[in-house]
Structure 1
Amino acid sequence: MYFSEHLSKEMLSQYGIAVPAGRLARSADEAAQACAAIAARKYVVKAQIVAGGRGLAGGVKFAATPSAVADEARKMLGSTLVTAQTGSSGELVSSIYVEQAMDLAQSYFIALALDTATGEVLLLASSEGGVEFEQRSKMDPDTVKRMTLGRDGPDTRSQLTDFLKGIGIEADAPVNMILAAREAFVENDMTLLEINPFARTSDGKWVAIDAKIAIDGSALFRHPEFEPLVEKQGLTATEMEAARNNINLVRMEGNIGIVSNGAGLGLATTDMIFDAGGAPANFMDIRTTATSFDIGKGVSLLLDEPKAKVILLNVHGGGMTSCDTVAEGLTFAYSRSKRHLPVVARLAGLNAEWGTRILRERKIPVEIHDTMTAAVARAVEIAR
């Protein structure tokens, strides 16, 4: 789940990271009124979308007066902004952020990401921050430096100080701000925290000029305070219901319903369906915290999907999710639904034989296959 700029900055400011004065607006009149609260010499009007690249697509404009701010807001609101990250369909601008324009002396790129190999927080930084950072980093990947950022302490501070000197930052304030950002990253289960530009102003202050945050959707159960924001992320009612039941589900346009555990297996299943000439109705990742009742709810959502013609059950049992747990969930859904789609199943790993037995003894209309390739081919055949 991504936070737009104003939400990202609101969170960063709670951890003591300086951000420019700004106000959210959903109309031209609100944008003009925001200027009175900000009281700056010059303003920036920013389209609030979660995709990057808006600056190069006309989503960031400078204005000198409240009336000029209102004019820019009027042009942006209701428009569709197409950037390198939105695809051709673009993203609707439903709100804008009016902010104090800052006189920048130096601009840097700072980001925190989760190192999936080690579980550590990874700091990425570059001396060349700003609107064109992504283009420059693609042309020269060496422009981005990286280090593992540990918890606050003398050793970490010493390592971070030396690291920042390597990109031209020798002040103390950025060290404190980056460690505060790490605290925000860990406490809120982020997968990405990007500040670009992270800038020193002409009067020597360090400020997060722009920010983007991504929260791990699988950790939302630990953050009920984010639940109202989930509803504004463009999720369908079906996807939100799945999330409440420990299942990551994304609706698609095809007719093959996928039930799988693990994001990697779900993506592989989706790719194999496309390669075989089929079209998935969804992507599914059963979280490790899901019970058989949660899984039953997820399968019920697929059975309620009118386009779905077949269920492809592709499960590798292990860890906290075993094959029999998934099989139980599927039988719960079928016992409560009047619609019984044919099931093509491939089960491997922990309790695979027991899961197969459950499906057969509970009279599920199932075909069992030993390999993913065979199961996908059969599901595509049935869907046709």
Structure 2
Amino acid sequence: MTETLFTNISQLVTPAPGMQRGAAMRDLTVIPDVAMLVSGGVIRWIGPRADAPSNAQEHDLGGVAVVPGLIDPHTHAVWAGDRLADFEARVQGVPYEEILARGGGIRSSMRATGAASVDDLVALARPRLEALRDSGATSMEVKSGYGMDFDAELRMLQAVRALQTEYGLVPTLLIHVPPTEGRAEYVQAVCHDLIPGVVRDGLATAVDVFTEREAFTVAETRAILQAAKTHGLQTKLHADQFHAIGGTELACELGALSVDHLEASGPAQIAALAASDTVATILPGVTLHLGLPAAPGRALINAGAAVAVGTDLNPGSSPVFSTQLALALAVRLCRLTPAEALTASTVNAAAALGLSDRGALAPGQRADFLALHSPDWRDLPYTLGANPVRNVFVGGIPV
């Protein structure tokens, strides 16, 4: 097995492996002038260059900082069509309800996505995933959810599967928007037909539900997520984006991997997350694009919760094609420190996807890491409008 020794690292910066919560999110290990040995896609050793094995192939990184590969725990990167008319209308003050009445909004994305083939969806998603990868994302979750019609949902997940190995994707079945009629029958069909079919074909590892006044109720969400658990899938929720109606509390009760958005979360929701092992995934791109209040990242960490950061890349509410930018926005909009933002975008984002083998630079972890342009890692959260990432390595191999 070929061994590669990465040398000339100005500083190697990493959180500890595993989910970190509260004040521990600020605890980074910073090692100057270090070398890292990789074989079989896994980190084997980290230490002074003088103590490194002499028979490894050397890769000089040029005196820059190295951090773990970023993990994007919340994207909707597979869609067809665009929402440019919605964007223009919204900035002119047109209410979302009127945009929907004109045929826009999320249902326009559903129409366009439902009309696309798997090949179409793969071709559309690839450059989006490439942009996320270039920004530092070495693992990415991708949700369905623009189908409503079950065949369209399955085509979305088939597109994710076609790209899965190439980009390190984690597929999630998202139950996003209820039909205008026949809600009870739709929920029953999701539980008894769609979820078992997805499991049979191995198309997803988790089920997510949008729990909101204009989407699914807490009772409907409970039924769907219990069906998911019965069929061996992990669970996640979109909750508290506009109103806190009990989705966060349900996520904590059911032991969901994560509950995402949280812009409308208050003290009760923060306390529930702090007392649970459910990761609080915040999405600052939504705040930037829609002008919503920011998710209470600072309060969540102060209360002892585990916080992750994602892009929520999607055509309507967060056209953010950079995982690094989401990290940087979490510092500005959600009041995370740079160290907390790095932890949120690495080991905690991994935990939000049920992954424990990545997100930290330590022996036994996957050798997914970034070489920055700078000798100081803090350029990663500092930089806006340029890419501070020079090289992306997955399993120790540059991509």
Classify the TM-score, shorter chain.
under 0.3
TM-score by length of 2: 0.26
Give the structure-1-normalised TM-score.
0.27
Which structure has the larger Rg? 1
Q: Which has the higher contact order (CA 8 A, sep 6+)?
A: 2
